[in-house]
Amino acid sequence: MSKSQILAASTVGLLVIVLVVSNIPAQNATGPGAGQPLGGQPVYLLDINHVFKKHSRLKAMKADLQGDVQRAEQRVKKEKEAIKSLLERLGQFRPGTQEYKDLEQEIATRQADLNVLITLQRRGFLQQEARIYYIIYREIIEEVDYFAGQNRAALVLKFDRQAVDVDNAVHAGYRLNRTVIWNNRGLDITDYIVDRLNGRVKRDSAQRPSVP
């Protein structure tokens, strides 16, 4: 067997080993269930992407933002239809006449204003979305800081708790490059942080005065 064949066989063997290790079912890991993390450990793990997906306040804020986006799109659509009507009306006048020039100027002005409006709205919505994620990220950090302080943790690492999809080459390649290959389930504080964050939302909703 040639040197290149030996190297290829070794690479395939290593890939299979890593895939098998990464796909070990969670119940095979030692330690308690995912509901309650182990206490007093120096290092914990957090799947922050999962936290974002499950954060009820983030879902509500994104829904509100989406409503604003849809209303803005309706205003833009209405203005485009108005400009289209003006263009159709422009065809009723002979080019070079004062009526034609006045209407042509109005169309150009409204089209330019609309382009500026679309640009500003897009920028504004992107900024709003960034602020939303920043607010939620700060909430997450506050809860992680509280947990770390209570448990005297030295470090909380970001990790991905999803198993490798061996049928998806791109997905598998991405997962194989993750930092954490295996972890004790008791070190994963993701569900704990999600519960704490959503508990905040419930408490805030209960304390908010009702509108008569």
Which pTM does this prediction carry?
Answer: 0.72
Numbers of helices and strands, H then E, in the chain: 6, 2
Encode pLDDT of 176-188 as tens digits: 777 887 888 899 9
pLDDT value, residue 7: 34
C-alpha distances in angstroms, 43 versus 27, 154, 208, 211?
21, 6, 37, 45
- Report whether pLDDT(189) > 60: yes
Q: How far apart are CA 95 and CA 107, in angstroms?
A: 14
Confidence of residue 127 (pLDDT cuts 50, 70, 90): very high
pLDDT value, residue 187: 94
Q: What's the token pair of residue 134?
A: 């920043």
Confidence of residue 111 (pLDDT cuts 50, 70, 90): very high
Mean pLDDT of 166-170: 74
Question: How many CA within 13 A on the CB side of residue 100?
Answer: 7
C-alpha distances in angstroms, 134 versus 1, 118, 192?
56, 24, 20
Q: How far apart are CA 173 and CA 165, in angstroms?
A: 9
Q: How far apart are CA 14 and CA 6, in angstroms?
A: 12
